[in-house]
Amino acid sequence: MTFPAKHISVSINTSAHQVYAFVANPENLPRWASGLSDSIRKVDDEWVADSPMGEVKVKFADQNPFGVLDHHVTLPSGFKAYNPMRVFPNGEGSELVFTLYRLPETTDEEFTEDMHAIERDLRALKVMLEAGT
């Protein structure tokens, strides 16, 4: 079985290398991913974020030269959500793509809300990186 998916992307006038370096650092999540994290801290070998859903654990893919920013978010319920994310060169800038899966228990309204939250976060990231922050 496959889940319906929505690919959400943003073009950023910043190199893919710079976007990757910023996004791959979990400490930067609260600066741009308001839908996921208000704050984040490292506890032992795990990143723990205070989110609107409660305390969640975030694990990014290992550092890699391919722009893979996939990450798992473990919710307070113990459910582990897989979030595919990539950055790749687009001319002198980059393209950042996040894939949102619609899980079976997700309503149309919840899926739309999630999609809009991700779009807001990616726009915030774009503004921040293009300003050189």
pTM of the entire structure?
Answer: 0.91
Query: What pLDDT was estimated at residue 25?
Result: 94
**Per-residue pLDDT, 61:** 95
Which residue range is the domain that position 27 belongs to?
5-130
Number of domains within the chain? 1
46 vs 87, which has greater pLDDT? 87
Task: Please give the Cα distance from 124 to 111 (Å, whole number).
Answer: 20
Can you give the pLDDT at residue 50? 84
Give the residue, 15 or 40, on which the prediction is more confident: 15
Specify the range with the lowest mean pLDDT, choosing from 35-49, 50-64, 72-86, 92-106. Answer: 35-49
Helix/strand/coil percentages in the chain, nearest 5:
30, 40, 35
Say which residues have a Cβ less than 8 Å from residue 125's Cβ, sequence separation at least 6. Answer: 10, 12, 19, 22, 23, 32, 33, 96
- Give 54-65 pLDDT, tens digit per residue: 888 999 999 999
The enclosing domain of 106 has a CATH number of 3.30.530.20
